Structure formats: C-alpha cells, structure tokens
Amino acid sequence: MTAPTPTLDDRRDFLTRLGALGGTATLFPGVLWAKLATGADLTDATIVAAAEVAGVSFTAEERAQMLEGLGRQTRQLDALHRIPLENAVAPALLFSPLPRADAVPTGPQHPIVASRPPARPRPTTLEDLAFAPLTTLADLVRRREVSSTELTTMYLARLERLDPTLLCVTTLTRERAMTQAAAADREIRAGRYRGPLHGIPWGAKDLLAVRGYPTTWGTAPYRTQQFETDATVVQRLDAAGAVLIAKLTLGELAQGDRWYGGMTRNPWKLDQGASGSSAGPGSATAAGCVGFAIGSETLGSISSPSTRNGVTGLRPTFGRVPRTGAMALSWSMDKLGPMCRSVEDCALVFSALHGPDGADQTVHAAPFNWDGNAPLRGLRVGVVQSAFDAPIERHPAKPFDDAALQVLRGLGLELIPVELPTFDYDAMRIILTAEAGAAFDELTRSGRVREMAQQNTGAWPNTFRTSRFIPAVDYINANRARTLAIHAWDALMQSVDVIVTPTNGGAQLTATNLTGHPAVILPHGFRADGTPVSLTFLGRLFGEEALLRVAHAYQRATDFHTKHPALG
C-alpha cells in the first residue's frame, strides 16, 4: 500500500498528534506504540500516528483488527528491551558483499616483498625521521641504525608537544610502548627480526580495545570504559612487533572530528578540523607523530580525514580485517584499515591485519601477495569519465584530477572510460541509520545519550532517536536493493581491475561503502591555501593487491605524499 508524501501541514499535524499522545520525548523509546510500556492503552490514534511515521495508511476497520496483534508485539518489544545487549554482540544476520560463491580469491599466501628504499644513514637529529615513511623507518631499525626505543621516545615527545594544539590523542600508552620498544630492540639485536613493522611506533583510533587503558569511543558516556582483552588488530600488530604509543581521537561514536576533549585539528590548517571520524589517526600521521595509524570507515571515516590531512588511507574490502574488539556502529558497513604516509606503507600494515580470527564471522581468508616492485603490465584501469568531465563549478579539484590522469597515462596505462551503476544509494543509508540506532539502543533509551557533546540535528543523539521510526520491512528492503547494487558493481568490475575517480565525485563513496569494495585515498595536490586534495582508487572485492599496485605506481611518479605541514 503506497502512502502519499506528507506535506508540511501533514507533518505539523503529526507533531500535534504526538503532543496529544503525551509528547515526543515519551514516544521515542521503541516504536511509537511502545507507549504501552508506560501503562497507557493502545488506541486507534496511536496506530494512526505510528502509520504516518511508517509511511502507510489503514482504514478504521483495518486498524481495529490490528489492535490485538500490536498489543502483543509491544509486549514482545518490552521484553526485548530487558535483555542486556552489549555493543560487542553482533546480530545473527551476517552481511556478505559477495555476489557469487567464487568471489573470494584462493591460492597460496607468499611472503610480502617490499621495495627497497635507498639506504639512509642515521640522521644527526632523530626528529628528522618524524615524517619518514614506514619503509624508511623499517630499514633503519632492521639495520640497527636507529633503535625502536629511540623512535618511540621521539614520537612520544612529538605527541606531548603537539597534542595541545592538534587535540589528536585521548590516551598516551607510554608504559606499554616503552616495554614493547625495549623488547623489540632485544629481539633485533639477537637476530630475531619479525618484519617491516618490528619496532615501529603506531597509533590506534580509540574505538579499538586496548587492555589496561580507557577505550572512550570519543564520547563522555564511555570516557572511563575499559576492556579486558585487546582488539584483534592490536593483537596482530603486537605479534608483528609494532609499538602502540597512543589511543587517537575519533569524533563522538565515529562521527566527525569533535570529541569530548574538543575538535581535532588539521596540521595543514590549524583553524580547521581534521575531519572524521578517524580524525586522530589522520592528524597524528600527517603531523609526524606516529609511524602509521589504524582508522575505521563506515561511510567515509578513512576517506575524509585522509583527504583533509593529506595522508594515504586504505579502506579494505568488507570482510578482510576482523573487527573483534572494535566499537560497532554498523555491523554490515564497518571496516578497519591503515592510514599512512605512503601506499606501500598501507600495504605493509595491511599484510599484518587481514584474515579470519575465528570471532568476526564476516571475515574471509584470501591471499594478499604484495610485491612493491611488481609491474603494472596486464592491469586494466577504468576512469569515471563523467565525474572527471564535470565543470569546475561542480568539480573544484578538476585541475588536480586532470593532471593525475596524465600521470597515469604516462605510466603506460590505458584508461578505460566507465560509468558507475546508477542507484538511489542515499535511500540505502537507512541501513546505517537503523544499525547505528540498534548498536546504541541502550544509550538512547537510558537517556545517557544527552551526555554527548554534540546535540544538533545531524548529531548521533537525534539520529539514534529518528532511527527508531525506520520500519523493519524497509530496512530489509533497503538491503534487498543493496543486493542489486552489489551485482551491478560486480558486473562493472569484470571489465576492469581498478577504477580511478575524483574523491568527491558522484556517489562512489556511499556506493562502495554499501557494496564493500576497497579504496585507496591519496594526496595529489595542494590548494592555494596549502591544504591537500585527494584522488581515490577503487578495487575489486578482495582486489587490494592490484589496487595498491596502481596507487603505488602513481606515488612513485609524484611527490605529493612526501610533503608535510610546517609544525614546531
């Protein structure tokens, strides 16, 4: 049954109805008819108001027939609300971006092969290494030109000096870091070198659990929260010998760059936010305060801060990196990935992160065979031509994007014009809204959501409340529409291995976060005010190897990723 689109007068009338039913505040817990939980009777007027929210209409006779069933449903919801559900409890429904059973690559996993940078001597001043890529830091540590303890001490000092300006840290993990660094130095002296992350200081977005330290999720209600076990990615980086030096900021519950301590700042323009929600990883990496960082993306939270802060970010395929021990915002869209100073750095970090952990059941086993010296021969690269051809009024980064295409052609790549599948991706965003509302149901119903710093129309508290009015039927149908999008993208990616697109061109960001495709975001120029702009490369599902190869070749032919902000 199709309901007419409500007019402004209709919406005003709806608010009047809400007031007559006891006010909006008492109606937000549960669906509208959960007013029964207060002891009130379910009435015809309640059903009419609820139907308006759901976008349907019923006759008086139909509403009368519904009363008994809705009363039973309300009692079921009331019982459901009494079941304690921690954020870590995932629904018994697993999202898969796979369009077909054979979509996950198989084959052997080979040791990674990193390109070998020119041997760099130990600098006179250790802080000269602050902005060095991971490949350079790893080579110095491996050759024992620089110790892990020295690097860790240097980066901790930079964080302490710059954080009052950048506001990129929630907690320094100094004791843990110095213990790890000393252990790394002992192992390397003894000839037990674990690989390119051994002894390298890094920072974790503060939605990753780290035992013995607060995991605040960036918001006051969870400011003192601690967990008994480390997140899987923390465990894997520990196993690789990396040194965790800080929990880095995220916008409240993974939205924006504002957290309970203020606004995390862009090192290139200190009066500007670092963007979010991986604001701290973006800011700290760009400012030379960590060797690399781990961020997360649900709908732009690696892409946006990578763009704003001029770092290189990898958003892996959904189902590549376990999220065990990470805050859940949207079980079918959350992804964890590295934010670094180069594409190859991202590849080296990703090589330590991917693969099943036995807990996150969405993760598939697939090989990632990185060779930093591999040629581009045989790779097909698509270009979203309509996005690049958009007039500069709608495409301010056009000069930078056009120059990037010239570089790619100069690498011998034939750029194949493609167009992205057309869907109303924005309509499917109710998937994120509904899942986020469920993830923070208890926070909303308890009223503690009012403790959050941001309380405006676009902030989570309001979104969590409005999410309760998304009909379950429409949430399921949004996911059915998502299936169509997944198959359309699969058909597109049969013709190319990698797609290059303007970062802010069209619906690619929303589309690929819904379909689960991987992306690399990297700097490719600077505006007149000195702030960076970015280009985005998209890959096939589980196609990170080809994706990173093309992006790596672009960075080898340019030097934008080697620039860094002037900080004290």
The Cα–Cα gap between 127 and 362 comes to: 41
Residue 186's CB is within 10 A of a number of other CB atoms, namely 11
Number of domains into which the chain is organized: 2
Q: Identify whether 301 is a catalytic site residue.
A: yes
- Considering the domain boundaries, does residue 169 fall inside one? yes
173 with 64, same domain?
no
Low-confidence residues of the chain: pLDDT under 70: 1-40, 568
Q: Which of 148, 278, 296, 301 is catalytic?
A: 301
- Considering the domain boundaries, does residue 452 fall inside one? no
Give how far the C-alpha of residue 466 lies from the chain's centroid of Cα atoms, to the nearest Å: 23
Q: Is the preceding omega at residue 277 within 30 degrees of 0, hence cis?
A: yes
274 with 414, same domain?
yes
DSSP H or E run through 402: helix 398-410
Of the candidates 24, 55, 83, which is a domain's last residue?
83
408 with 276, same domain?
yes
Domain that holds residue 311: 130-356+374-424+476-562
- Considering the domain boundaries, does residue 224 fall inside one? yes
Q: Which of 147, 275, 277, 278 is catalytic?
A: 277
Q: Where are the extended beta strands (E) located within 136-225?
A: 169-172, 201-205
DSSP H or E run through 110: none
Q: Of 440, 430, 441, which Cα lies nearest the Cα of 473?
A: 430
Q: What angle do CA 78, 82, 86 make, to 5 degrees?
A: 130
Angle at which helices 60-81 and 44-54 cross, to 10°: 80
Q: Which two tokens stand for residue 326?
A: 């990470």
pTM above 0.85, yes or no: yes
76 with 134, same domain?
no
284 with 390, same domain?
yes
- Considering the domain boundaries, does residue 240 fall inside one? yes
Buried b (16+ CB within 10 A) or exposed e, 45-65: ebbbbbbbbbeeebeeeebee
Give how far the C-alpha of residue 11 lies from the chain's centroid of Cα atoms, to the nearest Å: 35
58 with 184, same domain?
no
Got the DSSP string for 199-218? T-EEEEETTB--TTS---TT
Q: Which two tokens stand for residue 492?
A: 């597109």
Q: Identify whether 35 is a catalytic site residue.
A: no
- Considering the domain boundaries, does residue 113 fall inside one? no
- Considering the domain boundaries, does residue 435 fall inside one? no
Q: Which two tokens stand for residue 506?
A: 């069209």
| CATH label of the domain that carries residue 228 | 3.90.1300.10
- Considering the domain boundaries, does residue 96 fall inside one? no
SS3 letters across 239-281: HCCCEEEEEECCCCCCCCCEECCEECEECCEEEEECCCCCHHH
End-to-end Cα separation, the chain, in angstroms: 64
The Cα–Cα gap between 148 and 466 comes to: 49
Q: How far is CA 323 from CA 294, 337, 345, 419, in A?
A: 12, 10, 21, 32
420 with 520, same domain?
yes
- Considering the domain boundaries, does residue 433 fall inside one? no
- Taken as a whole, the chain contains a residue count of 568
317 with 217, same domain?
yes
Of the candidates 54, 83, 112, which is a domain's last residue?
83
Of the candidates 83, 112, 138, which is a domain's last residue?
83
223 with 350, same domain?
yes
Residue 456's CB is within 10 A of a number of other CB atoms, namely 7
Q: What is the pLDDT of residue 240?
A: 98
49 with 180, same domain?
no
